[in-house]
């Protein structure tokens, strides 16, 4: 007698948003397809916005059938939007399994910047950042990272288009290297989003080995979250400094800009009252920054619940700026955007949980 065993395994489809062009070419090569077809597919997905395989008319019928059977194109969805009085929009984006991240859209007169997340939560414990208080859950996939840009452009629709991307949302992008790099490639890829490398910035707290690795494969702009001019203070504010101290960080920065399109690193420096904002700090910072072609971006500290830190006064911030600027370093004070919706730097957290519960409650009450 024959033994019929039916194994019901639900085969997971491969999400094509996880591939940059090279990745898709390799995937096609594996199944014996011509690599140039990968470019056709990328154009359909990102330039035409056509995600129905049946309508990709310049792709052979047999390949379309294969893709339909084995692959999918799925981007995450925006589940909540808040619009600040200055036009900044904060989006909560659903990543499945209760995981949510936030992305922030910042429209300005002649550009629109999207602040993208790379992880659910963050494993680093920077003491002045509210994302850190939330802990780390998981890395985002390439599809979930590039999906934030897709979702943003979709939501904005006719009203505009994202022109600049900063990897300054939740998470440490260089600790999710393998998924972040293909996403950055898609942002700058001519056949995908085609953004200039000057307009796509990765921000890191200083994961030194990954900075060297990045330099080998990618030459987008880089921002470094510095926040202190000495190891003593930086060890506390940005604890990864204990592993990769300033000397090593600055050496990695110098190596990176050999290939960087901008030829300088943007250093971010959060202004904390009585912690890192003295005249002596400013002078020490000048000394440090003289070792690397740099621009400095001073960020007024954005408070969040249960923090002991306070923002330096405007007067102190301007004085600090003047000292550094007069020493020849291009220095700006970041305009805080989206403050009234907790969308400012370091304010991206899972307040989400509460909010969604609130919505649930309101729904139960028949209000929302």
Position of tokens 């500290």?
A: 301
Catalytic residue among 102, 144, 189, 268: 102
Which residues, in sequence order, are CB contacts of 214 under 8 Å at separation 6+?
A: 174, 177, 181, 202, 222, 256
Distance CA 15, CA 72 (A): 5
Show the site string, 22-61: x = touches ligand SAH by CB under 6 A, - = not.
Answer: ----------------------------------------
Where are the strands (E) in the chain, listed by range?
A: 14-15, 71-72, 77-83, 89-94, 100-107, 112-115, 119-121, 136-139, 164-167, 200-204, 221-225, 265-271, 294-300, 330-333
Name the residue nearer to ligand SAH (CB basis): 44 or 301. 301
The answer to whether 345 is a known catalytic residue is yes
Count other Cβ atoms within 10 Å, centred on residue 255. Answer: 14
Considering only the stretches 8-16, 39-47, 123-131, 242-250, report the one whose residues sit in contact with ligand SAH under the rule CB under 6 A.
123-131
End-to-end alpha-carbon separation of the chain, Å?
A: 61
Rule CB under 6 A: say whether 102 interacts with ligand SAH: no
Distance CA 301, CA 307 (A): 11
Name the residue nearer to ligand SAH (CB basis): 193 or 269. 269
- The residue with its CB nearest to ligand SAH is 346
Distance CA 128, CA 10 (A): 45
Shortest separation between residue 346's beta carbon and ligand SAH, angstroms: 2
Shortest separation between residue 191's beta carbon and ligand SAH, angstroms: 28
Rule CB under 6 A: say whether 204 interacts with ligand SAH: yes
Considering only the stretches 42-50, 70-78, 198-206, 212-220, report the one whose residues sit in contact with ligand SAH under the rule CB under 6 A.
198-206
Rule CB under 6 A: say whether 320 interacts with ligand SAH: no
Show the site string, 264-293: x = touches ligand SAH by CB under 6 A, - = not.
Answer: ----x-x-----------------------
Considering only the stretches 65-73, 96-104, 200-208, 281-289, report the one whose residues sit in contact with ligand SAH under the rule CB under 6 A.
200-208
Which of 345, 349, 350, 352 touches ligand SAH (CB under 6 A)?
345
Which residues, in sequence order, are CB contacts of 21 under 8 Å at separation 6+?
A: 38, 39, 42, 185, 186, 189, 191, 192
Which residues, in sequence order, are CB contacts of 121 under 8 Å at separation 6+?
A: 131, 134, 135, 136, 137, 170, 171, 350
Which of 205, 221, 260, 266 touches ligand SAH (CB under 6 A)?
205
Buried b (16+ CB within 10 A) or exposed e, 233-242: bbbbbbebbe
Considering only the stretches 9-17, 100-108, 125-133, 355-363, report the one whose residues sit in contact with ligand SAH under the rule CB under 6 A.
125-133
Closest CA to 267 of 221, 225, 237: 225
**Range 151-190, binding ligand SAH (CB under 6 A):** 168, 172
**Range 56-85, binding ligand SAH (CB under 6 A):** none
Report CA Rg, the chain. 22
Phi then psi for residue 294, to 5 deg, are -145, 160
Rule CB under 6 A: say whether 331 interacts with ligand SAH: no
Considering only the stretches 8-16, 44-52, 98-106, 127-135, report the one whose residues sit in contact with ligand SAH under the rule CB under 6 A.
127-135
Shortest separation between residue 165's beta carbon and ligand SAH, angstroms: 12
Name the residue nearer to ligand SAH (CB basis): 63 or 146. 146
Distance CA 146, CA 189 (A): 12
Shortest separation between residue 268's beta carbon and ligand SAH, angstroms: 4
Which residues, in sequence order, are CB contacts of 273 under 8 Å at separation 6+?
A: 301, 309, 310, 311, 312, 313, 316
Which of 18, 188, 225, 294 touches ligand SAH (CB under 6 A)?
225
Residues with a catalytic annotation lie at 102, 345
């Amino acid at each position: 007698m024959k033994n019929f065993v039916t194994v019901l395994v639900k085969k997971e489809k491969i999400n094509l948003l996880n591939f940059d062009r090279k990745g898709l070419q390799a995937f096609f090569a594996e199944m014996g397809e011509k690599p140039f077809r990968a470019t056709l597919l990328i154009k359909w997905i990102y330039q035409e916005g056509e995600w129905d395989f049946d309508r990709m008319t310049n792709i052979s019928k047999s390949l379309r059938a294969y893709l339909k059977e084995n692959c999918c194109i799925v981007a995450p969805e925006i589940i909540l939007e808040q619009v600040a009085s200055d036009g900044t929009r904060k989006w909560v984006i659903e990543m499945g399994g209760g995981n949510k991240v936030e992305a922030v859209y910042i429209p300005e007169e002649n550009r629109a910047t999207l602040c993208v997340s790379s992880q659910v939560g963050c494993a680093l414990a920077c003491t002045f950042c509210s994302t850190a208080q939330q802990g780390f859950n998981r890395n985002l996939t390439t599809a979930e990272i590039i999906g934030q840009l897709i979702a943003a452009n979709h939501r904005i629709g006719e009203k505009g288009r994202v022109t600049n991307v900063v990897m300054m949302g939740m998470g440490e992008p260089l600790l999710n290297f393998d998924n972040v790099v293909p996403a950055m490639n898609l942002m700058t890829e001519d056949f995908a989003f085609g953004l200039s490398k000057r307009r796509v910035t990765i921000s890191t707290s200083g994961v030194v080995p990954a900075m060297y690795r990045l330099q080998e494969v990618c030459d987008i702009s880089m921002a470094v979250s510095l926040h202190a001019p000495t190891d003593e203070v930086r060890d506390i504010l940005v604890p990864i400094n204990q592993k990769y101290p300033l000397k090593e960080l600055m050496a990695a920065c110098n190596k990176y800009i050999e290939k960087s399109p901008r030829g300088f690193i943007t250093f971010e420096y959060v202004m904390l009252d009585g912690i890192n904002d003295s005249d002596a700090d400013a002078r020490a910072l000048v000394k440090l920054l003289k070792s690397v072609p740099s621009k400095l971006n001073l960020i007024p500290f954005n408070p969040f619940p249960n923090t002991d830190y306070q923002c330096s006064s405007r007067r102190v911030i301007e004085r600090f700026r003047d000292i550094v600027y007069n020493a020849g370093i291009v220095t700006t004070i970041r305009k805080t955007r989206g403050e009234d919706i907790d969308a400012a730097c370091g304010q991206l957290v899972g307040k989400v949980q509460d909010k969604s519960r609130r919505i649930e409650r309101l729904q139960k009450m028949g209000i929302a």
